[in-house]
Chain A
Amino acid sequence: MSIRRVAVTGIGVVSPFGDTFGEFWTGIASGISAIRPMTLVKEGTVRFPNAAEAAAFSPLSHFDEKDAGFLDRFAQFAAVAAREAVASSGLNIDGALRERCAVVTGSSAGGQITKDENFHSLYALNGRVSPLTIPLVMDNAGASRISQEFGVRGPVYTVSTACSSSNHSIGQAFWMVRNGVVDAAIAGGSEAPFAPGFLKAWEAMRVVSSDTCRPFSLGRRGLILGEGAAMLVLEPLESARARGAQVWGEIAGFGMSSDAHHLTQPLAEGAALAMRNALSDAGVAPEAVGYVNAHGTGTQANDATEAQAIRAVFGAHAGRVLVSSTKSMHGHALGAAGALEAAATLAALRGGLIPPTANFVEPDPDCDLDVVPNHSRPAEIEYALSNSFAFGGLNAVLVFRRA
């Protein structure tokens, strides 16, 4: 088994900023929040009025009408992001590579909209449920679709670990490429949570903000739900260079941990362990890290706990690390969050520009870090972490390296 360096050669994004990676990066680099009044469900359905919806996404711009009907919104997002990622990588997935390529996707909620519509029909309308419900709702529908579109016949699967899903999926794909299990991978995540039943469940949890998402700031009131997808194309660095591919950056390490503590309350020790495991996997000292794309949900519990964990891992260096939560702009896309933030982190390293924590009002003594408030900041950085922490206490952290 050979250990190889792993390059990211393609990135595709569907987000509240539009259906391309370019629009996503331009949006978050400008520090403009895409959080807006919710339109995908009837006004007054839930107490919280705002969300980060992929409002510009039009299924029929990407799929013919019959085909669109065979894919829940979350799987449509996955396919559209994968198309952009593969196209931008210039990789031809053909011949023997088809069997040596993987697809690993993350999704927390799968086909919530399809599930909601069909159960509404069952309980409130005509007592019937569509035969397409099962294959549209399954969490792996996005991965399966990507596999079919590109003829990928190697390992194809989906990881569902709530808000860590796509960091876990990218990490798994990274390890498979690094260890020579496959020679390429499409990895990321997608989520489409704007279904009335699912939103009511979030409302009942009382973690969604009544205004906007203000990570690490005094006056923060919780998270703002988002949606979208991001997919990365991963290849061994050597073969990417050999074929003259554009390299966005490297994935240098991956670490996981579990809090073994509580269904919803996070534990700093668990988050810190995942960061340490990721740094150790990368063989990188904490002092080499210049940026952390934080989980930074904007909830009271997450942000204070994450700041404590970052302090524990980086010690005196914590004061010099830039930490920002791009969720303040693209919302919390749950199982797609890690993938969107991987795209943000790679673009930040390559562009030498750290996206800010938007909507920031006032420092919180419990989150005593440089959170790059409100304005992006030029910085030449070699290594960055991207954190994802899930309900259920499951933590996954990726280490990225500038190309």
Chain B
Amino acid sequence: MSEDLIARVAAVIAKTQKIPPESVTIDKTFAELKIDSLDGINILFALESEFDVDIPDEAAREIKTVREMVEGIEKLVAVKNP
């Protein structure tokens, strides 16, 4: 996981949630960040735009932490730019 990727994902989450970027750290859970199901799909939508990827529903359902979100994006970006 590159620092740049973590920072970009965190920035999207912070912007969508209207919370300070420094509050979105890699080990936070969505519950700790008060991200509910509707917030979650809103974040996925913003991340799809940021990274120009399609996040499948099944994969999205399992994501509950910032780390899992970054790892998921990393995989999708790797598939897109091998």
Shortest C-beta distance, A205 to chain B (Å), equals: 6
Cβ of B58: which chain A residues have Cβ within 8 Å of it? Answer: 210, 221
Expressed in whole angstroms, the Cα–Cα distance for A47 and B45 within the complex equals 14
> CB within 8 Å of A: which of B8-62?
36-38, 41, 44-45, 54, 56-58, 60-61
Chain B residue numbers with a CB within 8 Å of A222 are: 57
Q: Are A204 and B41 in contact (CB under 8 A)?
A: yes
Q: Which residue of A lies closest to B38 (CB)?
A: A264
The CA-CA distance from A236 to B58 in the complex, in Å, is 50
Residues from chain A with Cβ under 8 Å of B56 in the complex = 47
Question: How far apart are the CA atoms of A263 and B38 in the complex, in Å?
Answer: 8
Contact with B along A205-217 (1 / 0, CB 8 A): 1100010000000
How near does chain A come to B48, taking the closest CB pair, in angstroms?
9
Q: Which bracket fits the contact residues of A?
A: 10 to 19
CB contact between B38 and one of A47, A210, A265 (< 8 Å): that residue: A265
**A205 CB contacts on chain B under 8 angstroms:** 41
0 or 1 for each of A277-307: is its CB under 8 Å from B? (1 = yes) = 0000000000000000000000001000000
Interface string of A314-350 (1 = CB under 8 A from B): 0000000000000000000000000000000000000
Q: Do the beta carbons of B37 and A301 come within 8 Å of each other? A: yes
- Residues 182-212 of chain A: 1 if any B CB is under 8 Å from the residue's CB, otherwise 0? 0000000000000000000000111000100
- Find chain B residues with CB under 8 A from A264 CB: 37-38
Q: Complex formed: what's the CA distance from A205 to B44 in Å?
A: 10
Report the separation of the CA atoms of residues A205 and B45 in the bound assembly, to the nearest whole angstrom. 9
B36, A210: Cβ atoms closer than 8 Å: no
> Are B57 and A265 within 8 A (Cβ)?
no
The answer to whether A206 touches B38 (Cβ under 8 A) is no
Q: Are B60 and A206 in contact (CB under 8 A)?
A: yes
A262: CB under 8 A from chain B? yes
The answer to whether B36 and A206 have CB atoms under 8 Å apart is no
B36 touches A262 (CB 8 A): yes
Among candidates A47, A206, A262, residue contacting B41 with C-beta atoms closer than 8 Å = A206
Nearest-Cβ distance from residue A63 to partner chain B, whole angstroms: 38
Q: How far is the CA of A204 from the CA of B57 in the complex (A)?
A: 9
Q: Which residue of B lies closest to A222 (CB)?
A: B57
Q: Is the CB of A265 within 8 A of B45?
A: no
Q: Chain B nearest CB: distance from A334 CB in Å?
A: 18
How far, in angstroms, from A206 to B61 measured CA to CA in the complex?
A: 9
CA A264 – CA B44 in complex, angstroms? 16
